[in-house]
Amino acid sequence: MGYKSISTFLASQAEVDATLPPAMEFARAQDAHLNACLLGVDMTPAGGFYMGASPLLLQETLERAQADAQALETTARKRLAAESLRWGTESTVVQFGGLPALVGLRARFSDLVIQSRPYGPDALPTQEAVIESALFEGQAAVMVVPEARLDPDFGKRIVVAWNQSNEALNAVRRALPLLRKAELAIIAVVDPPVHSPERSDPGGLLTQMLARHGVRCEVSVLAKTMPRVSDVLMRFMADADAGLLVMGAYGHSRLREAILGGATRNVLENAERPVFLAH
C-alpha cells in the first residue's frame, strides 16, 4: 500500500511557492493523484459584524476572498499543467472559523496531506489551523515540509520518535510505505520510563513488528540531556543524518476541537527537515 491520494491546502501565494513544489515531487515519486485546494479565507471573526452593519460590507469581504482563491487556483493550475502527474484543483471560500470542517472533510479521504511549516515570521494563522484540522478533524497523516523542496534522499534514513503511545504507533503505521523503502529506520526512545511495559527492551516490540514488514531498523535509547524532548530529537536527527522524522501528533482539547500540544509545536517550530505526523 502506498500514498495514492495526496492533498494540500494553500491560502496564499507564499504557500503556493513553498508547498506546491515538494507536493508535486512527492506525488510524482508515489505515482499519486495530487489535489490542491486553494483557499480564500475570510478572517472576519464570528460576530465581527455588528447588528445593523451593511450587508454590502459582508459581501465585499466574501468577494475579496473569492478573488484571492481564484487567483491562487489560476497560478496553481499553470504550475501543475507543466508537470507530468495526475492532479486536480479546487478553489473555495471559507470563514476562518469554518476551516476545521472544510479541511477535515477533504483530508479525511486523503492518504496524506502535505503542508509547509506553520511557524515563522511570515507564517499565516491559516497554516497552523489547516494542519490541526487535517490531523484532528480529518484524522489524516500530515507531512510538514520546512523548505520549498524535498531532498531526493529525504526518505533514506528515518528517525521514529517512539514513546509507546497510540499516537506514535498510528504514525508508524501511516508511515509504513516510507519506512519500507528506507535504507534504515532508527527507533529513537528518549528516557524510557523505568516502570514502562518495555523497560527491559525499549522499542523491541516495535522493531519486531517493523522487521516483519521488511523494514531495516535499529533502536537508539537517548538521554534527555536538553530541556525539551524535541531538542533531543532534532539534534539526534542531525547526528544520524536522517531526512525525515516520524512522530505522533499530540493535542489539547479546545471544546470539540484540538490544538497542537507543546511537544508537537516545538518540533514544528524548529524542524529543518520534513516531519511526518499522525494522531
Whether 137 and 204 map to the same domain: the answer is: no
149: pLDDT strictly greater than 90: no
> Which residue, among 37, 87, 101, 42, has the nearest Cα to 67 in the 3D structure?
42
> Which residue, among 254, 274, 37, has the nearest Cα to 141 in the 3D structure?
274
Q: How confident is residue 234, by pLDDT bands cut at 50, 70 and 90?
A: very high
d(CA 30, CA 41): 30
76-87 pLDDT, tens digit per residue, is 999 999 999 999
Beta bridge partners of 143: 114, 276
198: pLDDT strictly greater than 80: no
Q: Evaluate whether 36 touches 76 at the Cβ level (below 8 Å).
A: yes
- Domain stops at, among 94, 121, 145: 145
24-49 pLDDT, tens digit per residue, is 999 999 999 999 999 999 987 665 55
Whether 202 and 91 map to the same domain: the answer is: no
230: pLDDT strictly greater than 70: yes
Give the residue-averaged pLDDT of 11-32: 96
Q: How confident is residue 267, by pLDDT bands cut at 50, 70 and 90?
A: very high
Give the residue-averaged pLDDT of 199-218: 93
Given this model, what pLDDT does residue 126 score? 96
Question: What's the CATH code of the domain at 217?
Answer: 3.40.50.620
Backbone CA torsion sign across 175, 162, 225, 258:
positive
Given this model, what pLDDT does residue 185 score? 98
> Which residue, among 166, 248, 27, 140, has the nearest Cα to 130 in the 3D structure?
140
Domain that holds residue 269: 157-278
Given this model, what pLDDT does residue 1 score? 73
d(CA 222, CA 143): 24
Whether 21 and 50 map to the same domain: the answer is: yes
> Which residue, among 182, 158, 185, has the nearest Cα to 276 in the 3D structure?
158
272: pLDDT strictly greater than 60: yes
d(CA 5, CA 86): 10
Given this model, what pLDDT does residue 201 score? 87
Whether 80 and 190 map to the same domain: the answer is: no
- Domain stops at, among 145, 171, 196: 145
Given this model, what pLDDT does residue 47 score? 57
d(CA 161, CA 153): 20
95-137 pLDDT, tens digit per residue, is 999 999 999 999 999 999 999 999 988 899 999 999 999 999 9
Q: How confident is residue 245, by pLDDT bands cut at 50, 70 and 90?
A: very high
- Domain stops at, among 123, 145, 167: 145
Mean pLDDT value across the chain = 92
Whether 137 and 261 map to the same domain: the answer is: no
Answer yes or no: is 150 within a domain: no
Whether 51 and 108 map to the same domain: the answer is: yes
- Which DSSP helix (H) or strand (E) runs through 156? none
By three-state DSSP, how is residue 50 classified?
coil
By three-state DSSP, how is residue 151 classified?
coil
- Which stretches of 143-214 are DSSP H helices? 166-174, 176-181, 204-212
Which residue's C-alpha cell is 533531543?
Answer: 232
Whether 98 and 211 map to the same domain: the answer is: no
Which residue's C-alpha cell is 451593511?
Answer: 54
Q: Evaluate whether 250 touches 167 at the Cβ level (below 8 Å).
A: yes
- Which DSSP helix (H) or strand (E) runs through 262? helix 262-270
> Which residue, among 249, 246, 224, has the nearest Cα to 237 in the 3D structure?
246
